[in-house]
C-alpha cells in the first residue's frame, strides 16, 4: 500500500492573522484600453471576495487610468518599480511621492527581471525599500535564486543575502510593514513551479531570517508571497502551506478568469 500523502502543517494563530494578498504583476503588458477591460473584469470577479486582499500592478502608463477605475474599490494598486530619490535629475525615473499621488499603495522592488536585465543590486533595492517606506508605500521586496544556484545548493544562502541586504537598516516595524515575495527565478514565466513543499521550505527559512532581523513581531506579522508560474490549478495547494501568505502572479494575472480563480483560492 502506498503511504498517505504528507499533509501540510496546520497554520498557526499568527499565520491565520496574516491577511492573504493576491497580487497581479502585469509587467510591460497592456495599453490603457486593455488595462480598462482587464481591471473592470477583475473588479467584477472579486467583488464578493472576503478575507483576502487583491492587488494589481499595471505598467506606469496605465497607473492613473487604473487608479480612477479602482476608486472606492478594495483592490489595491502597485507600481512595478520606483526610484529611491523623491525628485531630481533622473531622466526616465518615477519617485515614491509621484506614485502616492497617483493612488498607489504598494511598489514591487527588486524583481528578478530588474536585477538580471537592468542591473539592480541589493544596495539599490535597499534604497528603494527605504524610500517606499518613508513615503507611505508598502514595498513588495522580491528575492529568489536562479536554476544554477538551486542546483548548486545555494538557494538559502542567496535568499539570506538578498533579505539581509535588502532590509539593512530597517527596524522591526518597517520589516513587519514590508511584504516579501519569494520568486525562484527558474520558475518565472517558464511553466515550471516549485512544489508546495519546496516553496514552503524557503518561506519557512525566510520567516526565520525575519525573526533574526526584527524579532518575533516581524516574523509573525510579515507576509510572504510565492511567485513563479502561479496558476489556478496550483494556487490551492500553495496556499495550504503554513508560511505562504499569498502570491505574486505574472502571466496568469493578464486574463480575468485565471486571476479571479487565483484570488478565489480554496483553503
Q: Which residues contact 30 (CB under 8 A, 6 or more apart)?
A: 38, 58, 59, 62, 254
Confidence of residue 102 (pLDDT cuts 50, 70, 90): very high
Are β-strands 53-57 and 76-79 bridged in parallel, bridged antiparallel, or unpaired? Answer: parallel
- Per-residue pLDDT tens for 180-235? 999 998 887 777 778 999 999 999 999 999 999 999 999 999 999 999 889 999 99
| Per-residue pLDDT tens over the stretch 107-128 | 999 999 999 999 999 999 999 9
Bridge pairing between strands 246-249 and 179-182: unpaired
- The least confident of 4-18, 106-120, 150-164, 246-260 is 4-18
Active-site annotation holds for 111 = yes
Q: How confident is the model at residue 8 (pLDDT cuts 50, 70, 90)?
A: low
Whether the pLDDT of residue 9 is over 80: the answer is no
Which run of H or of E encompasses 52? none
Give the count of beta carbons closer than 10 Å to the beta carbon of residue 160. 17
In the set 53, 113, 145, 183, the catalytic residue is 183
In this predicted model, what pLDDT tens digit does every residue of 220-239 receive, in sequence order?
999 999 998 899 999 999 99
Instruction: Provide the b/e sequence for 233-249 (b: ≥16 CB within 10 Å).
Output: ebbebbbbbbbbbbbbb
Q: In whole angstroms, how far apart are CA 168 and each of 112, 130, 177?
A: 19, 9, 14
- Using the predicted structure, report yes or no on whether residue 4 has a pLDDT greater than 70: no
The residue annotated as part of the active site, out of 111, 113, 203, 219, is: 111
Amino acid at each position: 500500500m502506498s503511504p498517505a500523502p504528507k499533509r501540510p502543517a496546520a497554520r498557526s494563530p499568527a499565520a491565520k492573522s496574516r491577511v492573504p494578498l493576491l497580487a497581479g504583476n502585469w509587467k510591460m503588458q497592456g495599453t490603457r484600453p486593455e488595462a480598462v477591460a482587464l481591471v473592470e473584469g477583475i473588479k467584477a470577479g472579486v467583488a464578493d471576495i472576503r478575507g483576502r486582499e487583491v492587488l494589481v500592478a499595471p505598467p506606469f502608463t496605465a497607473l492613473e487610468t487604473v487608479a480612477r477605475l479602482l476608486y472606492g474599490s478594495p483592490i489595491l494598486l502597485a507600481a512595478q518599480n520606483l526610484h529611491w530619490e523623491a525628485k531630481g535629475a533622473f531622466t526616465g525615473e518615477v519617485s515614491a511621492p509621484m506614485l502616492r499621488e497617483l493612488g498607489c499603495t504598494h511598489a514591487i522592488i527588486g524583481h528578478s527581471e530588474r536585477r538580471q536585465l537592468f542591473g539592480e543590486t541589493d544596495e539599490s533595492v535597499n534604497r528603494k525599500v527605504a524610500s517606499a517606506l518613508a513615503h507611505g508605500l508598502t514595498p513588495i521586496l522580491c528575492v529568489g535564486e536562479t536554476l544554477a544556484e538551486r542546483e548548486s545548493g545555494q538557494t538559502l544562502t542567496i535568499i539570506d543575502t538578498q533579505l539581509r541586504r535588502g532590509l539593512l537598516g530597517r527596524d522591526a516595524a518597517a520589516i513587519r510593514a514590508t511584504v516579501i515575495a519569494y520568486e525562484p527565478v527558474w520558475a518565472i514565466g517558464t511553466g515550471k513551479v516549485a512544489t508546495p513543499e519546496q516553496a514552503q521550505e524557503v518561506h519557512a527559512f525566510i520567516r526565520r531570517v525575519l525573526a533574526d532581523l526584527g524579532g518575533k513581531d516581524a516574523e509573525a506579522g510579515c507576509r510572504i508571497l510565492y511567485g513563479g508560474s502561479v496558476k489556478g490549478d496550483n494556487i490551492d495547494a500553495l496556499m495550504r502551506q503554513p508560511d505562504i501568505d499569498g502570491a505574486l502572479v505574472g502571466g496568469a494575472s493578464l486574463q480575468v478568469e485565471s486571476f479571479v480563480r487565483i484570488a478565489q483560492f480554496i483553503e
